[in-house]
C-alpha cells in the first residue's frame, strides 16, 4: 500500500488516481521535496501512484495551488486530550472571518484565501530548488556538509517567510477547517525550521506534516478552481453536526493539534492501510481518463470501488467522533466528506474530480504525519 503524498516533491508523469493529474491546459505544480519511498506496503504499480512517507525518505509533489477547507471555532476548556485543538480561545473572535462557521464540515465551494495561498506555495516551492529536495533526511545536522547545511538553512528561511504570510490567511478564510489547516501549516513549518540547527531524523516528520497540510489546501482550492467542488458538493451526504467546535486561537503562534501520543492514531493508520489495500486495483486506473473513456474492465473496477469509498468515509467520520480533540474531529470529517463526494462522482468522473479524491486522501495522510510528529505511530 502507499500512503497519501506529503505535498512537495517530484511531479511524476501521468499518475493513476493515487497521484495528482492537472486538468487539460494547466501546468503541473512546482516541485518540492525528494523522491519518495512508499510506506508501508508495496510501491504503486505505475509511476504516478500516491507516494508518501511517514517514516521515510522524502516529500512529494505539492499541488501548489490554493486551498480551502472548513473548521469551526468557539471557546472550549482544555480536556487534556493532547491537542492544541482543545485549548481555550486566546484571540478575538471578531478578527476571524470563520467564527460563524460552527456547523457540519462540508465540501468547500468557495474561499477568499485560495488566491493569496497560491503564490505563497509557489514561492516556497521555488525556494526549495537548491538541492534540499534530494537530501537524505536520515542524516543528522551534526553530520551535514557545509553545502547540506546551507541548503537546510535556506529552506528554513523560506519556510518561515511562508508561515509569516500564511498567518494572515488564518483570519481571512471563512471556513473553520480551512483556518485549522492554515494554523497547522504555520505550526509545523515553523517547528521544522526551528529544528534545523540541531536536526535529527525524527524531525523530518515535522516537514512531512507541514507538507501534507499544504497539499490538502492545494487540493481543496484546486477542486474549487476547476469546478469539481461545486459540481459534487450536492451529492455528498451531510455530516453530523459537531457538539463542540475548535476554538479560535492566537494566529501568531498556533501549535500542532496533536502534541503527544494519541491512541486514535493507531486506528486511523489501520483505516488508511485498509482503504489502500481495498482500492489497489482501482488506483491503477490513470486519473486522466474520464468515465466516458473507460474500458469495460475499468468501468467494472470503478463501480466496485464506490461502496468501498462510501464505507471508508463512514469509518473515518466514526473515528473522528471518538476523540475529544475538536480539531482532529474536523479533519476526520473533512477527509470523510471529500471521499464521499468523490465516491458519488465516480459514475460520471472527470479529470477535475481527482482533486476531490486528493483532498480526502491527503487529509488522511496529514493526520498520520501529525501523529508521527507527536510520537504516535
Question: Residue 196: which domain range?
Answer: 84-373
Position 159 confidence tier, pLDDT thresholds 50, 70, 90: very high
The answer to whether position 77 is within a domain reads: no
pLDDT band at residue 134 using 50, 70 and 90 as cut-offs = confident
Per DSSP, the residues of 189-249 read: HHHHHHHGGG--GGGHHHHHHHHHHHHHHHHHHHHHHTSHHHHHGGGSPPPPPPSS-PPP-
Evaluated on CA atoms 285, 340, 270, 20, the torsion sign reads: positive
* Residue 318, domain member (yes or no): yes
For the chain, give the number of residues: 377
In this structure, of 5-14, 84-93, 186-195, 290-299, the range with the lowest mean pLDDT score is 5-14
pLDDT at 338: 98
In-domain check, residue 198: yes
Assess if residue 347 is contained within a domain: yes
Query: pLDDT of 291-332, one tens digit each?
Result: 999 999 999 999 999 999 999 999 999 999 999 999 999 999
- pLDDT at position 249, please? 78
56 domain-assigned: no
Please tell me the distance from the alpha carbon of residue 165 to that of residue 169, in angstroms, as a whole number.
Answer: 8
Question: Measured between alpha carbons, how far is 258 from 35 in angstroms, rounded to an integer?
Answer: 27
- DSSP 3-state of 286: strand
pTM confidence score: 0.79
Q: Which of 30-39, 261-270, 338-347 has the lowest mean pLDDT?
A: 30-39
Q: Higher-confidence residue: 3 or 280? A: 280
pLDDT band at 47 (very low <50, low <70, confident <90, very high): very low
Radius of gyration of the chain measured on its C-alpha atoms:
19
Domain tally for the chain? 1
**For residue 365, cis peptide bond before it (omega within 30 degrees of 0):** no
Q: For 106-170, give the DSSP string.
A: ------TTHHHHHHHHHHHHHHTTTSGGG--TTS-GGG--HHHHHHHHHHHHHHHHHHHHHHHHH
- 219 sits in the region (left: phi over 0; alpha: psi -120 to 50; else beta) called alpha
Q: Measured in Å, how far apart are the chain's first and last C-alpha atoms? A: 17
Contact 184, 168 (CB under 8 A): no
Q: What percent of the chain has pLDDT over 70?
A: 75
pLDDT at residue 131, rounded to an integer: 85
Using an 8 Å Cβ cutoff, are 132 and 144 in contact? Answer: no
C-alpha span between 256 and 367 (Å, rounded): 11
The dihedrals phi and psi of 272, each to the nearest 5 degrees, come to -65, -45
Q: In the predicted model, is pLDDT for residue 373 greater than 90? A: yes
30 part of a folded domain: no
pLDDT of residue 90: 43
Residue at 115 is within a domain: yes
pLDDT of 75 > 90? The answer is: no
User: Mean per-residue pLDDT for 66-92?
Assistant: 36
State the Cα–Cα distance between residues 289 and 298, nearest whole angstrom: 10
Q: Is 21 part of a structural domain of the chain?
A: no
Amino acid at each position: 500500500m502507499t500512503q497519501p503524498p506529503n505535498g512537495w516533491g517530484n511531479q511524476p508523469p501521468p499518475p493513476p488516481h493515487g497521484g495528482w493529474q492537472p486538468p487539460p491546459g494547466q501546468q503541473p505544480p512546482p516541485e518540492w521535496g525528494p523522491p519518495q519511498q512508499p510506506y508501508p506496503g508495496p510501491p504503486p504499480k505505475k509511476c504516478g501512484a500516491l507516494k508518501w512517507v511517514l517514516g521515510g525518505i522524502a516529500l512529494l509533489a505539492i499541488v501548489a495551488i490554493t486551498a480551502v477547507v472548513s473548521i469551526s471555532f468557539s471557546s472550549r476548556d482544555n480536556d487534556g486530550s493532547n491537542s492544541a485543538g482543545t485549548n481555550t480561545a486566546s484571540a478575538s473572535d471578531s478578527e476571524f472571518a470563520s467564527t460563524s462557521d460552527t456547523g457540519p464540515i462540508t465540501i468547500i465551494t468557495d474561499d477568499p484565501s485560495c488566491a493569496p495561498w497560491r503564490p505563497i506555495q509557489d514561492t516556497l516551492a521555488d525556494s526549495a530548488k537548491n538541492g534540499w529536495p534530494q537530501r537524505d533526511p536520515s542524516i543528522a545536522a551534526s553530520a551535514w556538509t557545509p553545502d547540506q547545511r546551507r541548503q537546510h538553512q535556506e529552506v528554513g528561511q523560506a519556510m518561515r517567510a511562508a508561515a509569516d504570510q500564511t498567518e494572515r490567511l488564518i483570519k481571512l478564510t471563512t471556513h473553520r477547517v480551512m483556518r485549522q489547516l492554515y494554523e497547522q501549516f504555520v505550526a509545523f513549518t515553523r517547528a521544522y525550521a526551528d529544528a534545523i540547527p540541531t536536526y535529527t531524523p525524527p524531525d523530518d516528520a515535522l516537514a512531512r506534516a507541514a507538507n501534507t497540510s499544504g497539499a490538502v489546501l492545494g487540493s481543496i482550492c484546486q477542486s474549487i478552481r476547476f469546478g469539481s467542488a461545486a459540481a459534487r458538493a450536492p451529492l455528498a451526504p451531510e455530516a453530523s453536526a459537531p457538539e463542540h467546535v475548535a476554538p479560535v486561537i492566537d494566529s501568531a503562534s498556533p501549535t500542532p493539534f496533536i502534541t503527544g501520543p494519541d491512541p486514535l492514531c493507531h486506528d486511523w493508520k489501520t483505516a488508511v492501510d485498509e482503504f489502500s489495500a481495498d482500492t489497489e486495483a482501482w488506483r491503477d486506473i490513470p486519473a486522466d481518463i474520464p468515465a466516458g473513456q473507460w474500458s469495460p474492465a475499468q468501468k467494472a473496477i470503478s463501480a466496485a470501488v464506490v461502496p468501498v469509498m462510501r464505507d471508508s468515509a463512514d469509518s473515518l467520520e466514526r473515528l473522528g467522533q471518538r476523540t475529544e480533540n475538536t480539531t482532529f474531529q474536523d479533519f476526520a470529517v473533512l477527509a470523510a466528506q471529500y471521499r464521499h463526494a468523490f465516491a458519488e462522482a465516480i459514475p460520471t468522473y472527470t479529470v477535475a474530480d481527482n482533486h476531490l479524491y486528493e483532498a480526502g486522501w491527503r487529509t488522511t495522510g496529514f493526520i498520520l504525519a501529525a501523529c508521527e510528529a507527536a510520537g504516535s505511530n
